[in-house]
């Protein structure tokens, strides 16, 4: 593959806050200078809180999912447990908290599946994916979220079929499960990040 000479970043020359709904989101209008010196005025940038998404797998090789209404897709959807990072909270601590709140579970092993920017063009925060193996229930779920939720444990093969056929409506769910399936299929594990 041929590559061009070194690519250079854009530089913000002016930034205006258009909408502030802290702590949930802020929208900016940026004037940016491109590497060739030309200017783009009013390029939108979105800042939002990062979140974690956990793919829990129990000792019976079932994956834990949560069914609930999601405003962004205006539908009932199914996804791995997820939630926003609290200010100053470590991402692994957040992942463990979300698994306990949404599913009432802890896990014996935690593996990072990576951290990704939600939108390559607009930013919109970061998502941190985890695979939590040895998941087991320790308390009743209590998410405290706005929506009603139903916890569902399904065989890994069934979830894989749902993933292949695109039954989940959210990109985060599809990415988290795809990364988890890849890690599980690779027959090697990453170093554990901490006890559940």
CATH number at residue 141: 3.90.79.10
pLDDT digits 0-9 by tens, 119-157: 888 888 899 999 999 999 998 887 666 567 899 999 999
Q: Is 178 exposed, middle or buried (0-12, 13-18, 19+ CB in 10 A)?
A: middle
Considering the domain architecture, whether residues 20 and 57 belong to the same structural domain is answered as no
Would you say residue 195 has pLDDT above 50?
A: no
d(CA 174, CA 64): 14
d(CA 185, CA 54): 17
pTM: 0.86
With respect to residue 71, please indicate whether it lies within any of the assigned structural domains. yes
The domain of 40 spans 11-48
d(CA 17, CA 49): 16
d(CA 53, CA 92): 10
What's the pLDDT band for 69 if we cut at 50, 70, 90? Answer: confident
Number of structural domains (the chain) is: 2
Percent pLDDT > 90 in the chain is 72
d(CA 77, CA 168): 6
Residue 20 near residue 28 (C-beta atoms within 8 A): no
CA angle 30, 36, 39 (to 5 degrees): 30
pLDDT of residue 108: 96
């Amino acid at each position: 593959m041929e590559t061009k000479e070194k690519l250079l970043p854009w530089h913000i020359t002016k930034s205006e806050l258009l909408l502030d709904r802290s702590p949930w989101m802020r929208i900016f209008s940026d004037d940016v200078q491109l590497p060739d010196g030309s200017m783009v005025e009013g390029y939108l940038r979105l800042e939002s809180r990062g979140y974690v998404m956990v793919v829990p797998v129990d000792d019976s090789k079932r994956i834990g999912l949560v069914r609930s209404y999601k405003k962004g897709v205006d539908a009932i959807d199914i996804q791995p447990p997820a939630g926003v990072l609290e200010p100053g909270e470590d991402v692994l601590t957040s992942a463990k908290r979300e698994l306990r709140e949404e599913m009432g579970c802890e896990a014996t092993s935690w593996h990072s599946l990576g951290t990704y920017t939600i939108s390559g063009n607009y930013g919109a925060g970061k998502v941190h994916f985890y695979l939590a193996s040895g998941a087991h229930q320790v308390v009743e779920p209590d998410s405290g979220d706005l929506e009603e939720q139903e916890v569902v444990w399904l065989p890994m093969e069934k979830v894989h079929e749902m993933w292949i056929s695109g039954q989940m409506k959210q990109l985060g769910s599809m990415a988290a499960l795809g990364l988890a399936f890849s890690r599980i299929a690779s027959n090697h594990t990453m170093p554990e990040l901490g006890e559940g």
